[in-house]
Every structure is written in C-alpha cells, then in structure tokens.
Structure 1
Amino acid sequence: MKLLVVTLAFLVASGSQASILWQDEPKSNIEVMTDAFWEYVRRATQTAEDTVETIKKSELGQEINTMIVQSAASANDYAGRLTDRVGPMVVLLRQSIMEELTDVNAKLIPFADELNKKMKQNVLELQQSLSPYADELREKVGQNAGELIKMLSANSKELQEKVDQNFKELQQKVNPYAEKLREKINQHIEEFQKKLVPYTETLQSRLFEKVQEVRLNLAPYAEDLQDKLTPYADKLPEKLQSLWASFRQSFN
C-alpha cells in the first residue's frame, strides 16, 4: 500500500518533468493531474478486485462454492421429499372433499326428486284445467279467442308462481347443507395447511442456516478488504488537494 502512495506522489511530483521527457507529445498540467488521479483510483479498484479473486481461488472460496452447491442440492432434495410427503396429503384432502360432496349430494337427491314431482304435478294440473276447452276451442276458433287467451294467461301465471314457490322451498331446504358443506371443506383445507407448516418451516430454517454459514465464512475477508480500501478512501481528499495545488502552481 505504501508503494501505491509513493507511486502516486511520484506521479504528481513529476508532472512538470513529464513535459520535458516527452518532447514529442507534451502533456498539460491538467492532463498530468487527471492521469495521476485515475491511476490512483485504478490501483484502489485493482486492490479490491485482487482481494475478491484471492477469495475465489483460496481454499475457503472453494469451500464456499462447494457449500453453495451442497445447499442448493440439499434444498432440492428436501423439496423433493417434501413433495413426496405432501402428495398423500393432497390426495387425502381431495378424498375428504369428494366424500363431503357425495354425502351432501345423497342428502339433496330426495329434495330434487320432490321438486321434480311437484313440477310434473303442476304441469298435469294445467293440462287438466285446459282439457275441457280443447274441443270447444276447435269448434269456436276465433269466437272466444279473447276469453281463452285471458284464461291461458291466468293459468300460466299460476303455474309460474307455483314453480317459483317450489324453488324457494327447495332453496330453503338446501341452504343449510350448502353452508355445512362449505364449513367442512374450509376445515379440511385449514387442517391441510397446518400439516404443511412444519415442512415449510424446516426448509426455510435449513436454507437460513446455510446462508448464515456462508456469511460467517466470508466475514474475515470482508473485513480484510475494508482494511485495504480504507486508506485509499481516507487519503483521497488529501491527494485531490495535492493535485489541485500542483495544478494551481503550474499557472503561477
């Protein structure tokens, strides 16, 4: 590091001599100052790059690379085992939901049959109410058409009201089963999620441990790199002032 500082000082001090040594392409003082500054920065940057490269090539660097590979492999392996364990849980969840749906469906079938019977009964009643007018309609086409239309409209309205009433009754009977089914399905899903928590927490914990291990192994190198770069940062203002002073003197 002292060698770098001496080199920079030499570059600054020899700014005026550089014009003499390079008679063919003399540099101005501002160019000399600029070159000296960027040479200083280059050396500081090179120090950081050398330190990082040293870490990569060192035994610790190889251990870290191995550790990262092993961590990834461990995570993949655990994820695979997690899938194997979760798979049966998913199947069980699906079976539980299907059982609930089958049970509710079995309980709703009688209501559906009842609705179907009522619908058929309503239609039959409508047909029976209209049958006396069928022959009369054929005999008096156009004579009492207005009265017939009124009667048909009234009967149709009555049929619609009965259908609506049947659906309302069915809905009232079905709603409790639908609500109970929703509660059971939510319960199965919550139980499934609770069973997954230990596996996800274990995976997260293992990955965190590996990251911490890598961080601890890198800590000494980070401190060493900081120690190497700190002098450059501390002395940079002083070097800039020196370069600026040299630049001003060249115009006096």
Structure 2
Amino acid sequence: MKKLLLATALLALSGGIAAAQTVRLGTEGAYPPYNFIDDAGNVAGFERELGDELCKRAGLTCEWVTNDWDSIIPNLQSGNYDVIIAGMSITDEREKVVDFSENYIPPADSAYMGLTADADIKGGVVSAQVGTIQAGYVAESGATLLEFATPDETVAAVRNGEAAAVFADLDYLAPFVKESNGELTFVGEPVPLGGGVGMAFRDSDDELREKFNAAIKSMKEDGTLNPLITKHFGPDTKLF
C-alpha cells in the first residue's frame, strides 16, 4: 500500500510527460565519486546517475550545469540553475540560506589523510576545501586551516609539504590512499559530520523540492538507491 501511495504521489507531482519542465541541475564536476567530468567532457559519477533517475521519476527534463564550489550557493540564489546536487552535506548553517531535500546519502564519515600515520592533525597545518563542513571543523579543532578552492588542491598540499594532512569526506580520500602505493595513509579515526548529503533548493521552490523528495523516497523504498551507492562508493560504505 505504501508503494502504491508513493507511486500515485509521484504521478500527481510530475503531471505527466507533456507537462514536464526543464530543470537545471548544478554540480561541481570535480569531486569523484560524487561528480566529475569524464573524458567526453560530460558530468559523470554517482550524482549524474542519481540525478538522471530522479528527474525521470519526477517527470522532469533536466540539464546539467557545472559551477565552482566556492560560489555554488550564490549562483543557485541568482538563478543560474535550479538545484544543487554536488555532494553537499546537510547542515544547520546551510539550512539558513537554502532548503534541502531529504538525504540521498546517509550521514557519513570524514577523515584525515597524510604522508604518515602520525601526522600532526591537532596543532599542524590541515588542508580542506573552502566552504565545506570539513573546513569548519578544522577551523575549530586547534589546527591551522589551509583552504583551497578545489579538492585536488587539498591533496596536492599534503604531497608537496604545505599541509601535514587533508581533511575531507572519507569516500573521496579512500581512492587516493588505495592507489598511492603507501605514499598516503589515513590519520587517526574517522569523524562523523553532517546530516547526510542532499539536494539544495531556493526557499521559494517548495514544489520542485517536493517532486525530488518523492523521487528520492521512491528509490529508498523500492531498493534501488542502495545498490547505486554501493556501485560508486564500494561495499563498505554506509547505506539506508
């Protein structure tokens, strides 16, 4: 009965294919496995697959737009796109300026990564991407925060000695550790942060947000979201 009611709600929200509207999805395109640009120059990754499926379920025609992370919320507010789907953690601070969908990634862990397991993450220099919950955490931790515009730069800072460690999503850092042949390693224990990852909307777009909420709920309830998460993040990632 729950699935029948949800399917009915989705149909009502979508209004049919004839009434489909074009929705612009804003993402960074630089944060694998969430999102990245493939060899053909297209947005790819977990959120590309997820976003396309959500648009299909909601009866929406969607276009992808890329935007630098440090201005991704201002450009949503100014109308350059309609939704942010960019590995954005749900936080109370961000809720003051945007409205979030329900999460499509459960609350996950952040982690430190350095050249050695005893890197100084308490009083040393720690890199993080500007405007992230990880940067906010480092700023209050007692370490010296070194911010960069892109996630790649935060990792490069560790490799070139500018930072003792980088603090970021564990799922983002794991491939670097795995593929580094021992050059890079996790430091300390993982740190749980945020309320999961969701889509961000302007405060005035309640109807659009509810369309995507219904689509996210349908993927959770029919069992298709967890396999998609596992496909991109591996078998050890947290699931719903």
TM-score normalized with structure 1 length: 0.18
Which structure has the highest helix share of the two?
1
The structure with higher relative contact order (CA 8 Å, sep 6+) is: 1
Which structure has the highest strand share of the two?
2
TM-score normalized with structure 2 length: 0.19
Which structure's CA Rg is the greater one? 1
